[in-house]
Every structure is written in C-alpha cells, then in structure tokens.
Amino acid sequence: MNNIVINKAKLILDDITYGLDLAKNWHPNYFEYFYKYFSDADKETRKYALLIFAAGLGNWLSGSAAIFLSSDIESENNFIFEDYIKSFLQNRQNLAMDFPELYNHIMIVLFDLAELDKFDLITLSDEIRADLTNLLLETDKNSLKYYNYPSVLNEVGFRNS
C-alpha cells in the first residue's frame, strides 16, 4: 500500500525542484487520502504525504490551483482541508523532528495564507480553527527561515537543478 501512496504522490508532484507553489498534476486518478499517512511508520511515506500537503498549500497561496475544499462539501475523493490540518496538528511534533525544513516551509505558507484571510474562505470546525489559530499564535514567525527551498529539497532527497 505504501508504494501506491508514494507513486501517486510522485505523479502529482512531477518536478518539485521548480517549487511547491506551482500547479501540480492533481488528476483524479492520483487521488489519495494523504493526510492519513502523516503518522505512517514508513518515513518515506510520511515524507511524500507531507510534500503533497505542502504542494496543496503552496498552490492555494500562489493561486495556481485550489485543491482544498470545505468539510461541508459532500463528495468523495476530495482534499478536505480540515482533514489535512487536523492530521498536521496531531502529528506536528514528529513531523517537525523528521522534516524540520519542510515543516518550516509549511508553517511559513500557513502564516501567509492566514495573513491573506484564506482560511475564512473555507469551512472549518470551531475546534480546528481554534487549534490552527493557536498554532500560529504560539509560533514565532520571526524564528522561521524564509526562502529556504533549497534546504527543503536537500532534506527530502531532491536537488535543485
């Protein structure tokens, strides 16, 4: 199963060396509930699941694609933002330890999305909205490293070419 998840993620990500904010191949055939793998025992599976989340956030921020939907949308095979953010919040300490550069990148994008009021465009439960707000309030934005994409690529085993 993990190989299927990793292969689908690779098909979506295509060439991430150009950035996680550029539109990716979000073809329905490559859909997977990647958030379920944020706590997977296999580090490679966790890495690719987290890269999908980062790419979805980056696409949302840049406006190149909007894959995340509200939880009140009744449809199968959709990237429900609440599912992703909930799993990210539940697993953030381990994810930050395993992938500190990628975690840093995700936090920067979450801050940028919050500053643009993007979270107001999506339905979230009060609990998850409060948890996300608390995460952003508890995180010192000035401690994050901006423009660290080459470090992210290095950490996840890709090289910026």
Residue 83 has pLDDT above 80, yes or no: yes
In a domain, 90, yes or no: yes
pLDDT value, residue 146: 82
In a domain, 25, yes or no: yes
Q: For residues 43 and 98, is the Cβ–Cβ distance under 8 A?
A: yes
In a domain, 61, yes or no: yes
In a domain, 60, yes or no: yes
Q: For residues 101 and 155, is the Cβ–Cβ distance under 8 A?
A: yes
Query: What's the mean pLDDT in 46-64?
Result: 94
What pairs with residue 69 in β-bridges?
80
pLDDT value, residue 133: 95
Query: What's the mean pLDDT in 77-91?
Result: 95
Residue 9 has pLDDT above 70, yes or no: yes
In a domain, 161, yes or no: no
- Counted domains in the chain: 1
Closest listed residue to residue 49, CA positions, set 8, 89, 15: 8
Percent of the chain, pLDDT > 70? Answer: 96
Residue 23 has pLDDT above 70, yes or no: no
Domain that holds residue 94: 2-155
Residue 67 has pLDDT above 60, yes or no: yes
pLDDT value, residue 20: 75
On the CB side of 143, CA atoms within 13 Å amount to 8
Query: What's the mean pLDDT in 119-148?
Result: 91
In a domain, 86, yes or no: yes
pLDDT value, residue 161: 47
Query: What's the mean pLDDT in 114-142?
Result: 93
In a domain, 160, yes or no: no
pLDDT value, residue 40: 97
Q: 126: pLDDT confidence band, cut at 50, 70 and 90? A: very high
Query: What's the mean pLDDT in 82-93?
Result: 97
Q: 29: pLDDT confidence band, cut at 50, 70 and 90? A: very high
pLDDT value, residue 72: 81
Residues 6+ apart with CB under 8 A from 61: 21, 109, 112, 113, 116, 118
pTM: 0.93
